[in-house]
Chain A
């Protein structure tokens, strides 16, 4: 069997990549993709643990996370569309009307 640590390390690496992309990328869509990446990394960790301890709790939580991710993506992309239409740009630095 594949040791659980492989899955967890993969999950951590994916999560880390997601964080870095979230902080350093300028395109809003890319940031959303990074968020999705982080969520999926967490899903992977949940599934791995659930397999390890033979419990269903982790899998149930994965369902929750998927649903939330989907809903959030829908709403978020709708907002991004409106912003893009108004600011004519997908650069997150251009969303700055609340700046001091």
Chain B
């Protein structure tokens, strides 16, 4: 069992690639950089394939944990560099390595004309290393190492074009916003250690399994831990209210948006919640928080995405919205469904971003959809793959998104933790998703060209960029076929595979809701039909507004001016944060911390010490003024003093 015994190889490969590229990449020709970075990621994927094969051969009942060395100990606190393999890890590793590999290959073509080619790939490889650490960690602290590491690489890659102020600002915004969530995450880790006296998953989950389920209105320590960890997830996975960094993160190169802000880093929050399912399922208040945040975010982001004109911003809000779905699923206890949606979403969202990159590349850098149009015939492959991805995300039957999104909506309606309000959020968001995605397709690829055809020479992307698109398109179709709905007589292979990870939570949920029973197949069929109908309505709305009556959207925007402006300006949240949070902090920093404490207190103290020293010296120098008579006087004074001292002593 080569890879299972040497799990660290999967981590070491991208790290080695990153270091090699970083140190030697500047002088190397492009081919060498490709080999050292893309090559290592391909090797990582091949290692994963081998791991998959070994895992299926071995079919272990409990997670395989490999402890390599003790990183730090302090009294009871002990953190090992321990890697873990269980079905959830296998799924996440597959997504990360496979999609990561495809995106690296795509980037070879996309970044071909950019400066700092080697730096890009070094940072991408480093990101892969940290993401793999996050996914394979067997304890919370190692997960946090990966968590922070991917945040760092996200910052580096968003600010890749660092000479551009907006890019540099976006990188800082991403890092600082996720930092706020990470503060909560750290507190959660500390609280977890305080409660369980360990931060290993195995120990924590074993202890937690014996703890009672906490009430909805009596918050115990488990609820607190889960809420704090959720804070971290909210930041990292761009949910309300810490989502503001993701749209700005589109300043980074498109492969970065595809890998980090669609397929992998932002899913780390979902992964963490799924991993901690033992804790969450015993804290219903936290679960409800997860579900509400997820559902609200799903709808909220969909409303904003509806009116954006930048193709990447639409996809960014779409990502936030789909992440909301995943959180909704986890909050309802349907962890397998959430992870399933994570996987299918990785495929079609990465495809959407890469295809958008292809469009931008074809248009010579233009990102505004209002300046596109009629590209269907000119870049057919890009169009075809993007259409497949759009069908997948909208939930068209048989495409990947259909199965995953359906399962989540069904659980919202008829699962153990069903809530009609959450279902309403989800279904309305589904309508808007179909609507804005097809709006994107119609604005970009249909209609008359709204750009200057003489200046912009639209050309299809090179094969190295198209191949990953095609592969992802195929996956966007067949990726959902792991879960064939039971009313068709199919089996949920995905849930079965993930069963060992979530079984206890699922059983607990059933125990907590004894009145709940498995819904009939007919209900599932009806719900599916409703979902497809809603998605179709969304498609029809987009078709009507952008194909049949293309002048109508402007009129509607004019008629509902305030609403349109509110949505277009993203509910003015950035301005709100600026005024309420950032403004006061900047004022405080400038006027109190700088002008008073730094200048007057600290500089004053340092300068004051020097001043004191100088003045004392100045006073004392008169004793040695070069004036002989004063020396004589001081001698006499000294003699008198000594004499008096001795007289006093004798007394």
Contact = CB atoms under 8 A, between A and B. Distances in A.
B636 interface: yes
A31 interface: yes
Nearest to A26: B629
A96 B625 CA distance: 9
7 contacts: A26-B629, A92-B628, A95-B628, A96-B628, A99-B625, A99-B627, A100-B626
B633 A96 contact: no
Nearest to A28: B628
Interface in B589-635: 621, 624-629, 632-633
B647 to A, nearest CB: 14
Contacts of A92: 628-629
A52 interface: no
Interface in A24-78: 26, 31
Chain A interface category by residue count: 10 to 19
8 tightest Cβ-Cβ pairs between the two chains A and B = A99-B626, A98-B626, A92-B628, A95-B628, A96-B626, A23-B633, A23-B632, A19-B636
Interface in B134-179: none
A100 B627 CA distance: 9
Contacts of B629: 23, 26, 92-93
Given A22-B632, A92-B629, 17 more contacts: A19-B636, A22-B636, A23-B632, A23-B636, A26-B629, A31-B632, A93-B628, A93-B629, A95-B628, A96-B627, A96-B628, A98-B624, A98-B626, A99-B626, A99-B627, A100-B624, A100-B626
A30 B632 CA distance: 13
A22 B634 CA distance: 11
Interface of B: 621, 624-629, 632-633, 636
A1 interface: no
Contacts, number: 28
A92 B629 CA distance: 7
Contact of A93 (B621, B627, B636): B627
Contacts of A19: 636
A97 interface: yes
Nearest to A34: B632
In the complex, which of the residues B624, B626, B632, B636 has the most CB atoms of chain A within 10 Å of its own CB atom? B632
A26 B628 CA distance: 10
Interface of A: 19, 22-23, 26, 31, 92-93, 95-100
A95 B630 CA distance: 12
B636 A100 contact: no
Nearest to B633: A23
B627 to A, nearest CB: 6
B625 A100 contact: yes
A90 to B, nearest CB: 12
In the complex, which of the residues B621, B626, B629, B633 has the most CB atoms of chain A within 10 Å of its own CB atom? B629
A19 B629 CA distance: 12
Contacts of A97: 626
B630 to A, nearest CB: 10
Contacts of A99: 625-627
Nearest to B639: A19
Contacts of B628: 92-93, 95-96
A22 B627 CA distance: 14
Contacts of B621: 100
Nearest to A97: B626
A45 B491 CA distance: 123
B614 to A, nearest CB: 14
A19 B632 CA distance: 9
Nearest to B622: A100
B107 to A, nearest CB: 72
B366 to A, nearest CB: 76
Contacts of B636: 19, 22-23
A100 B625 CA distance: 6
A67 B217 CA distance: 102
A3 to B, nearest CB: 22
A99 to B, nearest CB: 3
A98 B628 CA distance: 10
A84 B632 CA distance: 19
A65 to B, nearest CB: 16
A93 B626 CA distance: 9
B97 to A, nearest CB: 77
Contacts of A31: 632
A24 to B, nearest CB: 8
Nearest to A95: B628
A14 B409 CA distance: 116
A99 B636 CA distance: 20
